[in-house]
């Protein structure tokens, strides 16, 4: 049985997965809908929708198509914005100017994310980002449906994993299951920069 062309493009892994949540959020806001409104029409819990929009969870294909349909978006339009170049010439040069700014949590204060590199494969994706924490940065603890590697490029901070707090200084790193509630704690007056790598696996649920 032949698949729909749009679903083939999803399964091929040639999509920039980290953009999915941001696109959904943009289309939802364009429609003037709140998360609870979208939850009502899709039957998907608002907590899950929030995680998807914040890039903390990759939706399954049926879930993604349900959201797209209820938002009234043509699949070809949505997936065209997610397409990534497949050709690899043996190297990639990524000037700083090419880094893409993006938002994870709307409620976060002083969190500045830039995507450096992302790669999709058959059953998931990984994304490399630089996270800049400005003085006074704060947000609640979150969970992510991915493994995370955090490397401190500059500055020092505390990193909380559930009920444990780790002291991190320049050159330190921490690797953890993103399903553990986590949050960087920045109380200094200087700016902190982190290199963050997310390892996503497509949900089988």
Residue 160 · residue 182 · CB < 8 Å: yes
Q: Which residues contact 60 (CB under 8 A, 6 or more apart)?
A: 202, 203, 204, 205
Beta bridge partners of 114: 101, 130
Fold match between 5-80 and 96-201?
A: no
Q: What is the pLDDT of residue 77?
A: 87
Q: What is the pLDDT of residue 160?
A: 98
Q: What is the pLDDT of residue 9?
A: 40
Structure tokens at 162: 């559930």
Parse the chain into domains and list their residue ranges: 5-80, 96-201
Calculate the alpha carbon distances from 131 to 36, 81, 202 in Å: 29, 24, 24
DSSP annotation of 83 = B
Q: Which residues contact 2 (CB under 8 A, 6 or more apart)?
A: none
Distance CA(1)–CA(74), nearest Å, equals 23
pTM of the model: 0.72
Q: What is the pLDDT of residue 7?
A: 41
Structure tokens at 111: 């969190």
Give the pLDDT means over successive 10-residue stretches in the chain (205 positions): 41 57 88 92 91 82 92 88 67 86 83 86 81 96 93 97 97 97 94 94 54
96-201 has which fold? Jelly Rolls (2.60.120)
Residue 52 · residue 24 · CB < 8 Å: yes
5-80 has which fold? 434 Repressor (Amino-terminal Domain) (1.10.260)
Tally of CB atoms within 10 A around 149: 15
Q: What is the pLDDT of residue 127?
A: 86
């Amino acid at each position: 049985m032949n698949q729909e062309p749009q679903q083939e493009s999803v399964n091929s892994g040639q999509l920039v997965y980290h953009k999915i949540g941001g696109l959904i959020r943009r289309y939802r806001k364009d429609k003037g809908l709140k998360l609870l409104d979208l939850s009502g029409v899709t039957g998907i819990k608002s907590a899950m929708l929030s995680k998807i929009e914040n890039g903390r969870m990759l939706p399954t294909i049926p879930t993604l198509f349900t959201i797209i349909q209820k938002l009234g978006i043509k699949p070809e339009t949505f997936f065209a914005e997610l397409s990534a170049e497949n050709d690899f010439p043996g190297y990639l040069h990524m000037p700083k100017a090419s880094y893409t700014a993006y938002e994870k949590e709307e409620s976060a204060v002083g969190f500045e994310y830039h995507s450096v590199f992302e790669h999709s494969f058959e059953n998931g994706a990984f994304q490399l980002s630089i996270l800049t924490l400005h003085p006074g940065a704060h947000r609640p603890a979150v969970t992510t449906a991915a493994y995370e590697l955090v490397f401190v490029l500059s500055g020092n901070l505390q990193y909380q994993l559930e009920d444990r707090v780790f002291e991190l200084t320049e050159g330190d790193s921490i690797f953890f299951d993103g399903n553990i509630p986590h949050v960087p704690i920045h109380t200094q007056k200087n700016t902190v920069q982190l290199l963050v790598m997310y390892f996503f696996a497509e949900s089988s649920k």
